[in-house]
Structure 1
Amino acid sequence: MPHFALVFLGALVVTVAVATIEYRKGRRTVALWAGVAAALYVVALAVTFAVNIPLNNELAAIGDPARAGDLSVVDRFKGVWETTDIMRTLLCTAALGCLAHCLKLHGRGAAGVPD
């Protein structure tokens, strides 16, 4: 579990660090794109912690499906979990796009010229 948490939250920590470093170096446009990426990832994490993890826990609580009496949680799980999973995927993809743009802008200003 510690390795998972490191990867899961490490992306946010590194992205915030990049935004901070670029801002302090005067490269505001690069910092802005990194900040937007971090914000998108925070929203994805919020959805994960508010919706997906509780649903996963609820599903795990029913135990062995062959012995479970009430499987209505599975129907609720499928609709909500799939929808929020698609949302998280889109948010993380948008964050990756912002980071790619951030990297492109950083490369253009490699001489250290503030923008």
Structure 2
Amino acid sequence: MFALRVTALIAATMTTGLMAGVFGLYQHTVMAGLARTDDRTFIGAFQALDRAIINPWFMTGFAGALLFTAAAAILSPGREILPWVLAALVLYIVVFGITVAVNVPLNDALKAAGSPDSIADLAGVRAAFDEARWTAWNLVRTIATTAAFGCLCWALVVRGRLG
């Protein structure tokens, strides 16, 4: 049982850390770079990024962070580790909810607009996407996932102290 507990905690920490990196990279690099482009480039590039990110690597990290953290919470043996894992789980549930309720619908609406070559009003489509809203909620995802990662890192420290 010890090996399963530690494996779940390590997997939760690794996948959550990866997701913090993904959300952070979008926040301070991808969206910042796309913000400086014209409407056609923004729409085309964002659509391409959104199609590319739906892959087994991303989905393993995105869903894995939730599943492994839940498993780590279920398997946590005592009061020393459990509060940290539960805090991480709650934070990541918030991230998961924001992603499903805000970011994915905005992404899907932008993809549904079609190819930039066939869009008559590129500025209108970009404005309807609402970059500011997408980016604001992504900042929340970045902060919450980074905090969840920190909680899981601390849970590992505590686990190591317990022996």
Shared fold, TM over 0.5: yes
Letter of the 2:84 partner, please give it: W
| 2: CA distance, partners of 1:104 / 1:53 | 34
Letter of the 2:124 partner, please give it: S
Comparing 27-36 with 49-58, which one deviates more in the overlay?
27-36
Give, in angstroms, the shift of residue 2 of structure 1. Answer: 6.4
1:81 aligns with 2:134: yes
Alignment match of 1:8 (pick from 59, 62, 65): 62
Describe the SS at the equivalent of 2:70. helix
Alignment match of 1:28 (pick from 65, 79, 90): 79
Give, in angstroms, the shift of residue 7 of structure 1. Answer: 2.3
Alignment match of 1:41 (pick from 92, 105, 114): 92
Letter of the 2:90 partner, please give it: A
| 1: CA distance, partners of 2:124 / 2:141 | 24
Question: For the aligned residues, what is the CA RMSD?
Answer: 1.6
- Runs of at least 5 residues in structure 2 that lack an aligned partner in the other structure: 1-53
1:64 aligns with 2:115: yes
Match of 2:73 in 1: 19
Give, in angstroms, the shift of residue 51 of structure 1. Answer: 0.4
Describe the SS at the equivalent of 2:68. helix
What is the number of residues matched between the two proteins?
107
Give, in angstroms, the shift of residue 39 of structure 1. Answer: 0.7
Give, in angstroms, the shift of residue 29 of structure 1. Answer: 2.5
> What TM-score do the two structures reach when normalised by structure 2?
0.60
Letter of the 1:87 partner, please give it: V
| 1: CA distance, partners of 2:55 / 2:142 | 23
More helix by share: 2
- Runs of at least 5 residues in structure 1 that lack an aligned partner in the other structure: 111-115
Give, in angstroms, the shift of residue 18 of structure 1. Answer: 1.1
Describe the SS at the equivalent of 2:61. helix
Identity of matched residues, %: 36
| 2: CA distance, partners of 1:89 / 1:109 | 30
> What TM-score do the two structures reach when normalised by structure 1?
0.84
| Contact 1:62–1:68 (Cα < 8 Å) also in 2 | yes
1:103 aligns with 2:156: yes
| 2: CA distance, partners of 1:90 / 1:65 | 32
